[in-house]
Each structure stands twice: as structure tokens, then as C-alpha cells.
């Protein structure tokens, strides 16, 4: 389907979504990206190999890849949404997609200097509204520092539960 869209669509831009399960990607797409004249691929980008293949296909099709990564400010909230929504997946899937997508995003930023990377934070307001904010960086170094600080390993976040 992805290959078919690249072949048949006249759109020049291809948006690749990145982020762990229940991070808010689909919600962001639905409210902020759906009107864009782009091919949109709603994925997690949780492996470098998968991302590399996608990027290669896009570039080979003479199109412009743009990454939107949705990172929740609170993994607990995403985990709660995940458990109530994605019953077919194990909690290992949650860990894998969140840690993998962050690792892949850092890898893309380090290896593809020309690709536009947009970092979007999903959060809750005090009155429990789901909101998105674009995080802007003064330079590439700051983006890389941010992505490095967001790496998660060994269920470190789990320790915050109680």
C-alpha cells in the first residue's frame, strides 16, 4: 500500500509519523495533518531497518520525506490509554514501540541531515484536554541533545508507577 501510494500519488511530500503506541499519533494526524497535501504514513518507526527502507523508497520516488514524531509528556497516561484500547498487544509491545521509535528518531536525525524532523509533544491540560505542541529547537545540536535525553531503556519509566 505504501509503495502503491508512492507510485500513484502526485503529492511531493511524504509524512512519516513516528512514536510509540498510544502516544497520540493518530489523534495528531486526525486533527492537524489530515488536510495537508501529502501522503501520510501512520507508523511507529520503531526499527532503524524499517525506517531506512521507507526513507529509501521515498527518496527513490523523488519525493520529500518529512517526519512527525509524537512524544507523550507522560508515559503513564499513554500506557493507561494503551491498556484500555489495544487489548491484542502485550505490554512488551508498548515498551518496544516507545523505546524503538525514540532510538530510530535519533538515528534518523544523526544520519539524514536533510530530512525535516518535527517533534510534537502530546500532553494533557489541567482540565484534561488532549493537546499537542510543536517543540522548536534553535539548532540541530539542541535537537540531538533533546532526542538523546528522551531515550528509554529497560522499562525505566515503569519505576515511576508507584
The span of 1-9, 60-68, 106-114, 136-144 binding other proteins (CB under 8 A) equals 136-144
With respect to other proteins, which residue has the nearer C-beta, 113 or 136? 136
Long-range contacts at 113-119 (CB < 8 A, ≥ 24 apart): 113/140, 115/55, 115/65, 115/66, 115/67, 116/65, 116/66, 116/67, 117/67, 117/69, 117/143, 118/66, 118/67, 118/68, 118/69, 119/69, 119/71, 119/143, 119/146, 119/147
Q: Which residues pair with 68 in a beta bridge?
A: 17, 118
Residue 38 within binding range of other proteins, rule CB under 8 A: no
In the window 80-109, what residues touch other proteins (CB under 8 A)?
A: 80-81, 83-85, 87, 90-92
1, 49, 126, 162: which one binds other proteins (CB under 8 A): 162
Q: Is residue 132 within 8 Å of 28, Cβ to Cβ?
A: yes
Instruction: Give the position of cell 508512492.
Output: 6
Residue 158 within binding range of other proteins, rule CB under 8 A: yes
With respect to other proteins, which residue has the nearer C-beta, 53 or 83? 83
With respect to other proteins, which residue has the nearer C-beta, 36 or 76? 76
- Count the residues of the shown chain that bind other proteins, applying the rule CB under 8 A: 41
Q: Residues in the site for other proteins, rule: CB under 8 A?
A: 22, 24, 26-27, 29-32, 76-77, 79-81, 83-85, 87, 90-92, 120-121, 124, 128-138, 142, 146, 155, 158, 160-162
Amino acid at each position: 500500500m505504501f509503495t502503491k501510494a508512492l507510485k500513484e500519488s502526485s503529492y511531493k511530500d511524504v509524512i512519516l509519523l513516528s512514536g510509540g503506541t498510544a502516544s497520540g499519533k493518530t489523534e495528531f494526524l486526525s486533527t492537524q495533518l489530515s488536510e495537508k497535501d501529502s501522503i501520510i504514513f501512520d507508523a511507529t518507526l520503531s526499527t532503524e531497518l524499517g525506517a531506512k527502507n521507507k526513507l529509501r523508497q521515498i527518496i527513490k520516488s523523488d519525493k520529500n520525506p518529512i517526519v512527525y514524531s509524537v512524544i507523550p509528556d507522560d508515559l503513564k497516561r499513554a500506557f493507561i490509554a494503551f491498556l484500555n484500547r489495544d487489548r491484542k498487544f502485550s505490554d512488551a509491545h508498548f515498551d518496544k514501540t516507545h523505546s524503538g521509535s525514540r532510538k530510530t528518531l535519533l538515528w534518523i536525525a544523526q544520519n539524514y541531515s536533510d530530512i525535516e524532523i518535527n517533534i510534537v509533544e502530546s500532553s494533557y491540560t489541567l482540565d484534561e484536554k488532549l493537546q499537542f505542541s510543536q517543540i522548536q529547537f534553535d539548532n540541530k545540536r539542541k535537537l540531538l541533545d533533546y532526542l538523546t535525553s528522551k531515550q528509554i531503556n529497560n522499562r525505566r519509566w515503569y519505576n515511576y508507577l508507584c
